[in-house]
Structure 1
Amino acid sequence: MCEKHRTESVERYRRPCQPAEARRAVERAVAERCRVTHTTCDREALGDALLVASELTTNAILHGGGITDFRVDVGEPGVRVSVSDRSDDLPVAKEPFDPRGRRRLGGLGWPIVCRLARDVRVTDLPSGGKCITAVVPLF
């Protein structure tokens, strides 16, 4: 189970080891915000946020050398998910077919993130690696 630490308005969780842990952290942060503000969010929008969190953590695990930091912030524009990893490489979308015409596995996560999020930023970290932050509208 993720352990949370409050830092300003950002919920900071222990680094998830699996995408499911990232999804649970987002669900808890959204549920807490809705409880405190007596608001509801669109279930479909929450599903989009969970998918974005899952894709970002999966990509960090598979292609980024592992997750080095994970943050969730729920505010007026929606849910902001930030995932840091060890790689300096920028995320890329792969063509669905290789040069021989065979269907490739994977390569769809980054386009999904870019399609569902309102704002996506990739920031180089001073110690190496990068942080990807995506904001998904909820309200």
Structure 2
Amino acid sequence: MTGIEAGAAGHVCRPASAAEARREVEFALHPLLCAPDSYSLRAHRAGFEDAMLVASELVGHVLHHRESSPDVLDHQENSPGCFLVCLLHSDEVTITVTDTCEEILPLCPHSPAPGGNGLAGLGWWVINKVADQVVVQALPTGGKTITVAVPLSGP
């Protein structure tokens, strides 16, 4: 992942749904849709779509676990929720989601097996497949920050 360099465009929000996370990433990555030629547009399209998928899965995961948590009665007032930061760099998009969810995610997720627990873990597996890098950091006050680097052009 590259650091925040000069010229990086970014956006910070507190999405209330996975759909809102996708819209926020689309807004942050709007310059990609204004590419001067069709080659540039095609080269970045896959990264654009992957970035929207990553944001949707990360925020959806946080909201799912907040809703199923018995100790959070009023999710909007009693929980800091999640924050999404999307940074557009010249060759990648970094998406960071910070939340209070205590669930530990596996560093190397396995492909979800059919049967058993259905599609549980599929989103985390997909994120790790489309990303160049995934970093999970525990926060000292509880919760975690997940930063995902999504390439803008093909391998």
Q: TM-score, normalised by structure 1?
A: 0.76
* Divergent runs of 4+, >6 A: none
Cα deviations by residue, 1:34-66 (Å, 9 ceiling, x for unpaired): 65x856452222111111111111111113667
CA distance in 2, matches of 1:18, 1:33: 23
Sequence identity percentage? 33
Cα pair distance change 1:34/1:122, threshold 3 Å: same
Q: Which residue of 2 aligns with 1:30?
A: 29
CA–CA separation in structure 1 for the residues paired with 2:57 and 2:82: 15
TM-score by length of 2: 0.69
Q: Distance in 2 between matches of 1:60 and 1:30?
A: 22
Matches within 5 A, 1:7-22: 9-13=9-13, 15-22=14-21
| Structure 1 or 2: more strand by fraction | 1
> Contact 1:79–1:137 (CA<8 Å) still a contact in 2?
yes
The whole-number CA distance in structure 2 between the counterparts of 1:69 and 1:45 is 21
* RMSD, aligned α-carbons: 2.6
Q: Considering only CA atoms, is the larger Rg found in Structure 1 or Structure 2?
A: 2
Higher relative contact order (CA 8 A, sep 6+): 2
Q: In the TM superposition, what whole-angstrom CA distance separates every residue of 1:44-91 from its partner, at most 9, and x where no partner exists? A: 221111111111111111136673211110102311111111123222
- Structure 2 residue matching 1:24: 3-state secondary structure: helix
Size of the aligned set, in residue pairs, is: 127
Matches within 5 A, 1:94-133: 95-97=112-114, 102=116, 104-133=118-147
